[in-house]
Structure 1
Amino acid sequence: MTQADFLKAPFPAPTELPPEEFSGPKRFFNRELSWLAFNWRVLEEAENPRVPLLERLRFVSISATNLDEFYTVRVAGLRELALEGHNNPADDGLTPSEQLELINADARKLMERQQTVWNALRVEMEAAAIVIESRDSLKKTDREHLDEMFLSNVFPVLSPLAIDPAHPFPFIPNTGFALALQMQRSSDKRELQALLPIPHQIDRFVALPVEDEVQRFLPLEELLVLYIGDLFPGYKVTGHCAFRVLRDSDLEVEDEAEDLVREFEVALKRRRRGEVIRLKLSTNAPKGLRKMIIDELHVEESEVIEIEGVIGIADLKELVLDNRRDLLWPSYTPRVPERVTDHDGDMFAAIRQKDMLLHHPYETFDMVIRFLQQAAADPDVLAIKQTLYRTSTESPIVEALCEAAEAGKSVTALVELKARFDEAANIRQARRLERAGAHVIYGFINWKTHAKISTVVRREGGKLVTYTHYGTGNYHPITARIYTDLSFFTCDAALGRDATKVFNYVGGYAEPEGLENLAISPHSLKKRLIELMEVEGDNAEAGKPAEIWAKLNSIIEPEIIDALYRASQRGVKINLVIRGICGIRPGIKGLSENIRVKSIVGRFLEHSRIVCYGNGHHLPSRRARVFMSSADWMDRNLNRRVETLVECRNDTVKAQIVSQIMAANLADEAQSWVMAPDGTFTREMPKEGETFFNCHRFFMENPSLSGRGSAGAADVPELTHTED
């Protein structure tokens, strides 16, 4: 289906729902179950024959990692509410206890499917000369190799522990993996229970010597069972099992913390010791060992999941082998924008020429790094301000900020300590910036600062010019290789003033007044979105074209969903590309019959947040109002975080977003799942000889259509809608 075909396609016939439910909880889908549905879509990519074999294995691993995080945060929170007797229903009407029951049932099916998919992939891997051995299949030469490897690389880091009154059960950290052993002493037949915690520092799959060009691996737990005699001399194993724990990983921080950094350091230690909320255990574990583990970890039977297969399936990512390029996605090198090369790499000159939009990962994130590195080295730059929510461990952005501070420039870094699972890394980065002389601020105790903003103040011709970068994604060079995001560079004075007001707000708590081209949460962003939805409704009732296109990770905020329902009821045509959580019910007669929802799951993780309003014209249109944002349409983003919504008014930038990026996402077939009124997602697979449009491939193969930061006004492609 081409873009034009998609735009002309009629909305599907609506489904009936009793009108009395239009204002009741059934108008929403449950957040947690919707997230699980997304993770099912991730796992199903592992079964997609159009995806290279080892990339399919990566999808299995990702689905497992996702599920672990979901349990340690979302399920842990629901569990605590249920245990404390809180039964207030969510927006969809389900209580915490009801949600837990549905989540656990669906998650168990998902974990069973992960094992099924892994077993199928393992067969394909063997055909592709990648073999997972068992301890029973090892040859003499393998044992000789393992003898040396075990003694030199594994034995020194193991801590085998007997379990008896003198040796209490040890602490097993979150995602900790261990072997439980039932043994008998050869001399007197004395029984012993023991534990062998497995450090994260050891690879889960041990490489064996290559044989006839076949790469072979042995699971670590198989290796350990082989060498139990070295760990417990004089004992023989009479039974064993493996287990893995997940703990409550949500953080609690005191509202009146005097030192936010110190409070987070303490909270991180508490997280490590959170309650066990899920225990995965080998199926057919000896009864004595099973009881000991459950009793010592204080888990209920309902929180125990017996696994026949690989425990800790997230570790399969180790088998995504870099040396098997034939089984991975074809390599791809992001492009350097033409306008930057035209100016010999000078980012300031390129931005001065015209506002510049980059579409990552198709255009390299290195331009964002270069922007800050150039600022650090430029003697005419006086000040740099930067938000840091997540970034890489060895961050070139932090390095540039430190260099700038050490050179005497005024550097302000807003480091968000509450970025989940990156808290410790962000504390380290903050300490490093402070040592370099940067002014580090941490924002609000109760609100996360999730906005993505950089400003550089430069002296030019006797006046100060502010160069500003607004992004939809984190300042993280590694994730920028696989996340689709937008980077907007400008030296527009109004946008620079708006960014400065946001920094002043987070650092000084004074709510910004008079924002010229920016809306921020938790104050004006949601209001702006809803006001523009109402305008589209007015256009529809006046007989004008009325359309909304939006692309987000998640939509669950009830006021936003109700505003979309009202717009649909007034005749606005709404197309949503929602990768993950979706609480809206599309295609309900009288409620949402003008709303379509699709999800794209593919090679790159769709992460950019975009919304386009027709403004009285059919989309795509030069007259549309086009916005990019750091915020998903969720309660946390709109009501409890500092986020940005930037209107793009430059014609070139608008055309890139609405008639290239959004239109290609809406036209995608190859990676798209379409949402039904009952919340299920379906994907059409191409018939033999049929080719589906793939938006990721399209952007990789079409440099002139990929968020072309170097485009001039004459390069704006002709819009395809003939009525505008």
Structure 2
Amino acid sequence: MSEKEEKHVIPYINRELSWVDFNYRVLEESFRKENPIMERMRFLGITASNLDEFFMVRVAGVEDQVDSHYFMRDLSGYTPAELLLTLSQKIHSFIEKQYSCFTRSVLPALKKSGIRFLKADELNESQKKYISEYFDKILFPVLTPLAVDRSRPFPLLANRSLNIAVRLKGEDESYFAVVQVPGILTRFLNIPSEGGNDYILLENVIIYKLGELFELNEIRSACTFRITRSSDLDIDEDSDDLLIEVQKFLKKRKRGKPVRLELSRGHDYETELFLKEMLEIEDHQIYEIPGPLDLTFCSSFASMPKYEQFCYRPLQPVYPPSDFADCDDIFKAIRERDRMVHHPYESFETVIDFVRTAAEDENVLAIKQTLYRVSGHSPIVAALIRAAENGKQVTVLVELKARFDEENNIMWAKKLEEAGCHVIYGLVGLKTHCKILLVVRRDEDGIRRYVHMATGNYNDSTAKVYTDIGIFTCREPYGG
């Protein structure tokens, strides 16, 4: 390398391109034959879920920069327009590898285990009869085909919803209809078979029976499609009420600008032109998918109890953790020395027990805690509510800007307020990720502060999966 060239070497890796490389690493786990087949399915579903969020936030952010005519180069040397093109190329390559894994590696491995995903033309007569009855009794009453013409505008389709575009023959030209695949029903339908492990995807059932939905029309073509909308949190933090601002944004998110259109490969060209025009999508935002759209269904499929034998044995966390062994009084144990816990290998119940004990202990005066992400039925929040009901001073910082958990956090914040807790809705200009809990207790020798600090979140569900190190400690009494 010449001295001149060396001066222009950029020592930074672009954040977005680096993220795609990370998702490649997750995909490698789906290829690994050493992993049980359902774990490989689960990793495949994770790559799809990761990519959805990447488009909704990261790609959407780059799109906004391009639309704003921002031309500055980042530290890695890319302008937004250059980065968008490079991302598109890299993600197209990733999708090819992702579906190669699904069709050439995962599906054959499933078949060896006696599990098959079939298409309509692969069904035997009894199976065809079964899906026809299922369509008539379950699907048909739920489906609502939406025609699109001069008097009926293109519908507002939900972010990440799976749809079928149908091109119909008109008097002078083609016209179109959209059928949404109902998300309320399971994506994979178990159909009768000798081993009981044959499945067909719901969209394939609908396409097979489209003639009954459009019995007065001639169907020219049909294909599945899916749109991803910009969902990044963009709020005015100078507003007088951050809660109201976040609630307003959540309503707007459903109508976010499309940043990706996925189409099943082999689709009709006229249908692509129609969707491109209706959604105002550019060519680089269109992705032809060589298989079933939305592989996130792989995660839920892999989680079915009937296939536990094809997964790793669930981890059984140690309870109580080794640092709390033979400790009957959690406050006494923490006073003696700092105590460390390592999740998921050691049970998160220790943290929950700490909050529950503090909520009921008559000597506890106050509890102060940060909450970033919690579960849908959070025992931590339930304990905080109980503490407030018991007359303790409870202060909770609830981060409303926890991406895609905003609605859940708003719901918990309101319940905490109703119980008498003092709730802080995050801090202006900052996003609070820290995991910290303070318990103020009146001990015999004075007021002590007991603290729990950790990485991660106060989420009892993810604590069973994600690694997280926490420490319990306390300080000497005031004046001591």
Q: State the TM bucket, normalised to the shorter chain.
A: over 0.9
Q: Would you say 1:169 and 2:154 are equivalent positions?
A: yes
Structure 1 segment 562-581 matched on structure 2, within 5 A: none
* 1:317 Cα offset (Å): 1.7
Pick from 13, 28, 40: which aligns with 1:29? 13
* 1:392 Cα offset (Å): 0.6
Pick from 241, 250, 255: which aligns with 2:237? 255
Pick from 287, 305, 322: which aligns with 1:305? 287
Once residues 21 and 422 of structure 1 are traced to their aligned partners in structure 2, the CA distance between those partners, rounded to angstroms, is 45
Pick from 454, 458, 476: which aligns with 2:441? 458
Once residues 3 and 334 of structure 2 are traced to their aligned partners in structure 1, the CA distance between those partners, rounded to angstroms, is 54
Q: Would you say 1:333 and 2:324 are equivalent positions?
A: no
* 1:189 Cα offset (Å): 11
* 1:236 Cα offset (Å): 4.3
Q: Secondary structure at the match of 1:155?
A: helix
Q: Under a length normalisation based on structure 1, what TM-score does the superposition of the two structures give? A: 0.63
Q: Secondary structure at the match of 2:198?
A: strand
Structure 2 contact 323–341 (Cα < 8 Å) conserved: no
Structure 1 contact 25–93 (Cα < 8 Å) conserved: no
Structure 1 contact 135–222 (Cα < 8 Å) conserved: yes
Q: Would you say 1:270 and 2:255 are equivalent positions?
A: no
Once residues 430 and 300 of structure 1 are traced to their aligned partners in structure 2, the CA distance between those partners, rounded to angstroms, is 40
Deviations 1:226-269 (A, max 9, x none): 22233233334321011111111112111321111111000111
Once residues 309 and 280 of structure 1 are traced to their aligned partners in structure 2, the CA distance between those partners, rounded to angstroms, is 11
Q: Secondary structure at the match of 2:253?
A: helix
Deviations 1:349-372 (A, max 9, x none): 322221011111111111111111
Match of 2:112 in 1: 127
Deviations 1:413-462 (A, max 9, x none): 10000111111111111011111111100131221111110011111115
Pick from 127, 133, 138: which aligns with 2:123? 138
Q: Would you say 1:159 and 2:144 are equivalent positions?
A: yes
Q: Which amino acid aligns with 1:169?
A: F
Once residues 18 and 385 of structure 1 are traced to their aligned partners in structure 2, the CA distance between those partners, rounded to angstroms, is 57
Structure 1 contact 25–91 (Cα < 8 Å) conserved: no
Q: Which amino acid aligns with 1:325?
A: E
Q: Which amino acid aligns with 2:44?
A: V
Q: Which amino acid aligns with 2:239?
A: A
Alpha carbons of structure 1 residues 71 and 150: separation in structure 2 relative to 1, 3 Å: same
Once residues 9 and 250 of structure 2 are traced to their aligned partners in structure 1, the CA distance between those partners, rounded to angstroms, is 37
Structure 1 segment 525-674 matched on structure 2, within 5 A: none
Alpha carbons of structure 1 residues 152 and 445: separation in structure 2 relative to 1, 3 Å: farther
* 1:493 Cα offset (Å): 4.2
Pick from 96, 107, 111: which aligns with 2:91? 107
Once residues 468 and 229 of structure 1 are traced to their aligned partners in structure 2, the CA distance between those partners, rounded to angstroms, is 65
Match of 1:46 in 2: 30
Once residues 307 and 175 of structure 1 are traced to their aligned partners in structure 2, the CA distance between those partners, rounded to angstroms, is 15
Pick from 373, 383, 387: which aligns with 2:356? 373
Q: Would you say 1:208 and 2:194 are equivalent positions?
A: no
Pick from 265, 268, 282: which aligns with 1:286? 268
Pick from 365, 380, 387: which aligns with 1:382? 365
Q: Which amino acid aligns with 1:282?
A: S
Once residues 145 and 381 of structure 1 are traced to their aligned partners in structure 2, the CA distance between those partners, rounded to angstroms, is 62
How many residues are matched?
Answer: 476
Once residues 45 and 461 of structure 2 are traced to their aligned partners in structure 1, the CA distance between those partners, rounded to angstroms, is 18
Once residues 456 and 20 of structure 1 are traced to their aligned partners in structure 2, the CA distance between those partners, rounded to angstroms, is 58
Alpha carbons of structure 1 residues 49 and 413: separation in structure 2 relative to 1, 3 Å: same
Q: Secondary structure at the match of 1:243?
A: strand
* 1:25 Cα offset (Å): 6.2
* 1:287 Cα offset (Å): 2.3
Alpha carbons of structure 1 residues 20 and 115: separation in structure 2 relative to 1, 3 Å: closer
Deviations 1:281-336 (A, max 9, x none): 12221222221111000001121111121211222223203222221012220111
Match of 1:426 in 2: 409
Alpha carbons of structure 1 residues 434 and 21: separation in structure 2 relative to 1, 3 Å: farther
Alpha carbons of structure 1 residues 310 and 378: separation in structure 2 relative to 1, 3 Å: same
Alpha carbons of structure 1 residues 486 and 242: separation in structure 2 relative to 1, 3 Å: same
Once residues 144 and 189 of structure 1 are traced to their aligned partners in structure 2, the CA distance between those partners, rounded to angstroms, is 36
Q: Secondary structure at the match of 1:379?
A: coil
Match of 1:78 in 2: 62
* 1:145 Cα offset (Å): 2.9
Pick from 351, 354, 363: which aligns with 2:334? 351
Once residues 134 and 392 of structure 2 are traced to their aligned partners in structure 1, the CA distance between those partners, rounded to angstroms, is 52
Once residues 9 and 403 of structure 2 are traced to their aligned partners in structure 1, the CA distance between those partners, rounded to angstroms, is 30
Q: Secondary structure at the match of 2:234?
A: coil
Structure 1 contact 204–318 (Cα < 8 Å) conserved: no
* 1:71 Cα offset (Å): 1.3
Q: Under a length normalisation based on structure 2, what TM-score does the superposition of the two structures give? A: 0.94
* 1:148 Cα offset (Å): 3.9
Alpha carbons of structure 1 residues 433 and 25: separation in structure 2 relative to 1, 3 Å: farther
Deviations 1:463-495 (A, max 9, x none): 21111000111111111111111111111349x
Alpha carbons of structure 1 residues 31 and 17: separation in structure 2 relative to 1, 3 Å: farther
Match of 1:65 in 2: 49
Deviations 1:599-653 (A, max 9, x none): xxxxxxxxxxxxxxxxxxxxxxxxxxxxxxxxxxxxxxxxxxxxxxxxxxxxxxx
Once residues 203 and 432 of structure 2 are traced to their aligned partners in structure 1, the CA distance between those partners, rounded to angstroms, is 42
Q: Secondary structure at the match of 2:251?
A: helix
Alpha carbons of structure 1 residues 78 and 333: separation in structure 2 relative to 1, 3 Å: same
Once residues 269 and 18 of structure 1 are traced to their aligned partners in structure 2, the CA distance between those partners, rounded to angstroms, is 55
Deviations 1:564-609 (A, max 9, x none): xxxxxxxxxxxxxxxxxxxxxxxxxxxxxxxxxxxxxxxxxxxxxx
**Identity of counterpart residues, as a percentage?**
38
Structure 1 contact 25–92 (Cα < 8 Å) conserved: no
Match of 2:40 in 1: 56
Q: Secondary structure at the match of 2:277?
A: helix
Q: Which amino acid aligns with 1:143?
A: K
Alpha carbons of structure 1 residues 198 and 266: separation in structure 2 relative to 1, 3 Å: same
Match of 1:684 in 2: none
Alpha carbons of structure 1 residues 262 and 44: separation in structure 2 relative to 1, 3 Å: same
Q: Would you say 1:441 and 2:438 are equivalent positions?
A: no
Q: Would you say 1:414 and 2:397 are equivalent positions?
A: yes
Alpha carbons of structure 1 residues 36 and 438: separation in structure 2 relative to 1, 3 Å: same
Deviations 1:643-702 (A, max 9, x none): xxxxxxxxxxxxxxxxxxxxxxxxxxxxxxxxxxxxxxxxxxxxxxxxxxxxxxxxxxxx
Structure 1 contact 163–194 (Cα < 8 Å) conserved: yes
Pick from 473, 482, 503: which aligns with 2:456? 473
Pick from 471, 476, 480: which aligns with 1:488? 471
Match of 1:653 in 2: none
Q: Which amino acid aligns with 1:266?
A: K
Match of 1:517 in 2: none
Once residues 19 and 6 of structure 2 are traced to their aligned partners in structure 1, the CA distance between those partners, rounded to angstroms, is 23
Q: Which amino acid aligns with 2:30?
A: A
Alpha carbons of structure 1 residues 313 and 238: separation in structure 2 relative to 1, 3 Å: same
Structure 1 contact 358–486 (Cα < 8 Å) conserved: yes
Structure 2 contact 397–424 (Cα < 8 Å) conserved: yes
Once residues 226 and 144 of structure 2 are traced to their aligned partners in structure 1, the CA distance between those partners, rounded to angstroms, is 17
Q: Would you say 1:91 and 2:75 are equivalent positions?
A: yes
Structure 1 contact 205–318 (Cα < 8 Å) conserved: no
Once residues 410 and 20 of structure 1 are traced to their aligned partners in structure 2, the CA distance between those partners, rounded to angstroms, is 63
Structure 2 contact 323–340 (Cα < 8 Å) conserved: no
Unaligned runs of 5+ in 2: none
Structure 1 contact 57–316 (Cα < 8 Å) conserved: yes
Q: Secondary structure at the match of 1:168?
A: coil
